[in-house]
Chain A
Amino acid sequence: MTPLSLGEAEALARKAARGAGLDWGTAEEAGRAVRWLCAHQFPGGEALAGLLIASDRVPPARRAPVCGMVWRARAGCLCPVTAGAALADRAGAGPHAVTLADLAWPLLLLPFAQAAAARHGATLRVAWPGFRADVAAGALALGPAEAGEAARAAEVTCRPVPVPQGEGRPRGYRAALRPAARAALERFAARTYAPATQAGRLAGAGAGLTDND
């Protein structure tokens, strides 16, 4: 598989999320999340592809978590991008523990937890059965990770811990997406492109005076 640049992976993820029905602002969050995951050698593109396939065209407001003692979906599995964005949005209130029930593709929560941790200068531990990662500003420490590609987790916790524990993982600058995931994201992304028309071809791109002189 040809690796993508991080910019390409981010743009593909953003467009795919939009194509699957997320609003542009949340789609941008999805793009940043996939970029972060890929830079840390996690299968972020695969996770997003899985999420979008399972939640295609779910209206944005229906993806939003109900943020009680335990964060839950309104229906079905909780969307990790929407829940992650809500988690990071609240970071200004200080580090606090959150439990999320029935979270789809929990790996996608990790970059948002990292952003929240960076915002309040703390370390946050994200864990579900078979996976544990501690994140802080510029730091990632990985515990068990065999369930990193889980399509859902019944319970995910995100809570402050004193210091990161686990194996460090250096960041990289390429995104290796498996072909099936990439193809799925491209199919979603293609929905953001308007069908070409002859009028658009001429006017939209701005043909004017001759360009061959």
Chain B
Amino acid sequence: MDGSASRPETIAPRPAATVMRLARLGALHQTRLSFMRVLLRRLRREGWRFERRAFAIDARGVGEAVYTMHGPERSYSLVAFGHDLPDAMRSDRVIATAWDATFTLFDGVPTEDDIARLRAEVPRQEAGRVSERELSLSRANRSVRLFSHVVEALAAGRQPDPAQVEAVGYLMRTTAVYGSGKFGAADRAAIEDRPEFAAPFQPEMLSVWLTRAFVLDMVEEMARRRAPDRAVPLDPALRRRFGIGNSTGLGMAPFLVSHPILLNNWIAAREEALARVRRLPVADAEAAARFRAMLPRAQACVARWRSEHPVQRARLAALGADLERLADHVAAAGLSGDHPWDALWRWGEGALSEEGQEMLVSLLLEPHGALVDGLAECMSAGEETGLGLDGTMTAGTLRALLEEVYDWALAIDWDAPEAQARCWYVSEEKLEPRLGERWAEEIAPWEQPLAPGRDAARLHAALRDEPPGAPVAELLLRRPEHRAAVRRAQIAARRPYAEIRDNTIGADLMPIDMLRAKLSFFGAGCFDPRSDRWVRIEMYRGAPFPHELHDLPEDDWAWPEAEA
């Protein structure tokens, strides 16, 4: 904690050295700037209209459906296929070849011909092929624990047990949602100028939101088919307690490293939002009331957040204690002083765990939508920009730049076995990123470029022999292996949050930290690591369904209701 009193009018976003550590990134929570929330705010504000254009599902959950959202200029349709998957074939692993349901987001309203084409391809997922009319490709598996219970209860004319709904949280979990250009889908570059896709990952988030609606309709339909006379639909409030689950593994981890500009823009927006709130000279009454109302909701969020992973369990215990301390502190110190949000933040930096501090960020943004929501427009990065390299930069300038951005990497002894214990590679078998043990497996020849810290240190060493005034283009002619590191350093020079400032191949790496950072920006919650390298999450839990989006309060779903 910085002990000196900051001058509130000059409050700057937090330094990258604080924010970009893996442990910190692995403690992020959803905020107002999360992509699911950005999407639903836009759909609501612009009056998007929902239409269930087709729905034919049998008692086993087999069939097809088309769910369309109509916007001011364009429509998008989730085309869903339900399958009857034997329990033994159900796996969240990317090596699976069959799923309970498969989906694609279609750009527009599909014709019969489109649906016939998709019927032949979408259920095969990676083995199939979609076209530039499709914006995503995804699949989901049932939660064995909850799905049957809900269908059976509804078929028997009663509501499912709320405790079981709370404990699991979803009926299906997606195990991959492929977007931009994957398996033939449209490139982001082709759609990035549409206002509805200004924020990142909006087609994917739309696809998942409609998937949740489909899954809930599906269980009600299955119950109705089984017992047409007795079955009841879900109570609307209980229905909203179902999110959609997601199981994410290593495949997602390299993304933050391979998209440094995007990473910077996400973090920069969040940090700027925090700084804006801290700069407010006073807390207006409405914002203060809203903030106070959020505290018990944050506690409810932690109370329902379950994990079997020992690391996450310890962190949840600390987070629960943090929230009690926070509530006590707000009650005692109030929010009426000078720059009260900044004062609260600085208290939190000293008093709370990293999970607690990052949840405080989320809570501080919560009452300040008018001040921060516009930052969501700054979170994208053009898919085809930003890769140029300035070869006229001198070796001396580049060295100084490396010493500033990668000081943490230059302090690591890269010859120590533990510093390079891991190695990212892609397996021949599934063409997915994996993380191996460099000294135990024969994998180094296939190493992926996912260790920017080590590579920056190597570049720094190579620069020692260069005349300080020599252009770096000269070095790259002789030592082209440093090209990627030069480019990254130049990107990071102007974008403080572009680099994770930690060793991504060290013995103590927890890949789930990288997964969590990305998923928090999606808007996921209840992170439940299932090992050091895959994590289960919930999405859209509490959110309105498409048919009721305009009947419920705007953007008030991401935190659970306070416990009575």
Contact-residue size bin, chain A (C-beta under 8 Å from the other chain): 35 or more
Supplied contacts A8-B182, A205-B432, 18 more A-B pairs, CB within 8 Å: A7-B182, A7-B383, A25-B480, A61-B477, A61-B479, A64-B478, A86-B391, A88-B388, A173-B132, A194-B426, A196-B428, A196-B429, A200-B443, A201-B429, A203-B437, A207-B93, A209-B531, A213-B143
With A7-B182, A7-B187, A206-B534 as contacts: A67 and B477 at CB distance below 8 Å: yes
Whether A211 pairs with B484 at a CB distance below 8 angstroms is no
Residue of A nearest to B175 (CB): A211
With A90-B391, A193-B427 as contacts: A25 and B487 at CB distance below 8 Å: yes
User: Can you spell out 14 A-B residue pairs with CB atoms less than 8 angstroms apart?
Assistant: A5-B181, A5-B186, A6-B181, A28-B387, A63-B480, A90-B392, A93-B392, A173-B189, A201-B429, A203-B437, A204-B436, A205-B427, A209-B531, A213-B145
What's the least CB distance linking B530 to chain A, in Å?
5
With A67-B477, A196-B429 as contacts: A92 and B392 at CB distance below 8 Å: yes
Whether B473 pairs with A205 at a CB distance below 8 angstroms is no
Residue of B nearest to A196 (CB): B429
Cα–Cα distance between A213 and B306 once the two chains are bound (Å) = 15
Whether a CB of chain A sits under 8 angstroms from the CB of B511 is yes
Whether a CB of chain A sits under 8 angstroms from the CB of B486 is yes
Whether a CB of chain B sits under 8 angstroms from the CB of A208 is yes
Residues of A within 8 A of B534 (CB): 206, 208
What's the least CB distance linking A176 to chain B, in Å?
12
CB contact list, B264-299 vs A, under 8 A: none
Whether a CB of chain A sits under 8 angstroms from the CB of B190 is yes
Whether A205 pairs with B93 at a CB distance below 8 angstroms is yes
Whether a CB of chain A sits under 8 angstroms from the CB of B446 is yes
Whether A205 pairs with B434 at a CB distance below 8 angstroms is yes
Whether a CB of chain B sits under 8 angstroms from the CB of A184 is no
Whether A212 pairs with B87 at a CB distance below 8 angstroms is yes
Whether B181 pairs with A194 at a CB distance below 8 angstroms is no
Residues of A within 8 A of B333 (CB): none
Cα–Cα distance between A211 and B140 once the two chains are bound (Å) = 12
B459-498 vs A, CB cutoff 8 Å, 1 = contact: the mask equals: 0000000000001110011111111111100000000000
Cα–Cα distance between A92 and B490 once the two chains are bound (Å) = 13
Residues of B within 8 A of A26 (CB): 480, 483
Residue of B nearest to A172 (CB): B190
Whether A205 pairs with B250 at a CB distance below 8 angstroms is yes
Whether a CB of chain A sits under 8 angstroms from the CB of B114 is no
Residue of A nearest to B258 (CB): A28
Residues of A within 8 A of B249 (CB): 205-206
CB contact list, A1-59 vs B, under 8 A: 2-8, 22-26, 28-29, 32, 35-36
Residue of A nearest to B168 (CB): A213
Residue of B nearest to A89 (CB): B391
Across the A-B interface, give the 5 residue pairs with the lowest CB-CB distance, nearest first.
A7-B181, A208-B531, A89-B391, A25-B483, A206-B533
Whether A211 pairs with B428 at a CB distance below 8 angstroms is no
Residues of B within 8 A of A196 (CB): 427-429
Residues of B within 8 A of A209 (CB): 308, 530-531
What's the least CB distance linking B508 to chain A, in Å?
16
Whether B477 pairs with A64 at a CB distance below 8 angstroms is yes
Whether a CB of chain A sits under 8 angstroms from the CB of B204 is no
Cα–Cα distance between A190 and B511 once the two chains are bound (Å) = 25
Cα–Cα distance between A64 and B388 once the two chains are bound (Å) = 18
Whether B484 pairs with A197 at a CB distance below 8 angstroms is no
Residues of B within 8 A of A (CB): 87, 90-95, 129, 132, 141, 143-145, 180-182, 184-190, 247, 249-250, 308, 383-384, 387-393, 425-432, 434-437, 441, 443, 445-446, 449, 471-473, 476-487, 511, 530-534
Residues of A within 8 A of B132 (CB): 5, 173-174
With A92-B392, A200-B427 as contacts: A205 and B477 at CB distance below 8 Å: no
Whether B473 pairs with A89 at a CB distance below 8 angstroms is yes
Whether A2 pairs with B446 at a CB distance below 8 angstroms is no
Whether A24 pairs with B449 at a CB distance below 8 angstroms is yes
Cα–Cα distance between A190 and B483 once the two chains are bound (Å) = 23
Residues of B within 8 A of A25 (CB): 449, 480-487
Whether B441 pairs with A206 at a CB distance below 8 angstroms is no
Cα–Cα distance between A161 and B481 once the two chains are bound (Å) = 34
Residues of B within 8 A of A100 (CB): none
What's the least CB distance linking A88 to chain B, in Å?
7
Whether B511 pairs with A206 at a CB distance below 8 angstroms is yes
Residues of A within 8 A of B478 (CB): 61, 64
Cα–Cα distance between A196 and B441 once the two chains are bound (Å) = 11
Residues of A within 8 A of B427 (CB): 193-194, 196, 200-201, 204-205
Between A8, A93, A208, the greatest number of chain B beta carbons within 10 A of the residue's beta carbon is seen for A208
Whether a CB of chain B sits under 8 angstroms from the CB of A119 is yes
Whether A88 pairs with B484 at a CB distance below 8 angstroms is no
Residues of B within 8 A of A67 (CB): 477
Residues of B within 8 A of A85 (CB): 389, 476, 483
With A209-B308, A211-B530 as contacts: A203 and B436 at CB distance below 8 Å: yes
Whether A89 pairs with B129 at a CB distance below 8 angstroms is no
What's the least CB distance linking A201 to chain B, in Å?
7
Residue of B nearest to A64 (CB): B477
What's the least CB distance linking A113 to chain B, in Å?
13
With A6-B189, A89-B473, A196-B429 as contacts: A23 and B481 at CB distance below 8 Å: yes
Residue of A nearest to B190 (CB): A173
Residues of B within 8 A of A207 (CB): 93, 531
Cα–Cα distance between A60 and B346 once the two chains are bound (Å) = 51
Between B141, B390, B485, the greatest number of chain A beta carbons within 10 A of the residue's beta carbon is seen for B390
CB contact list, A77-107 vs B, under 8 A: 82, 85-86, 88-93
Whether a CB of chain B sits under 8 angstroms from the CB of A68 is no
Residue of A nearest to B390 (CB): A92
What's the least CB distance linking B457 to chain A, in Å?
16
Residues of B within 8 A of A22 (CB): 480
Of A90, A194, A201, the residue contacting B425 (CB under 8 A) is: A194
Residue of B nearest to A211 (CB): B92
Residue of A nearest to B131 (CB): A3
Cα–Cα distance between A173 and B534 once the two chains are bound (Å) = 34
Residues of B within 8 A of A61 (CB): 477-480
Whether A206 pairs with B531 at a CB distance below 8 angstroms is yes
Of A24, A36, A190, the residue contacting B484 (CB under 8 A) is: A24
What's the least CB distance linking B150 to chain A, in Å?
15
Residues of B within 8 A of A91 (CB): 388, 391
What's the least CB distance linking B282 to chain A, in Å?
47
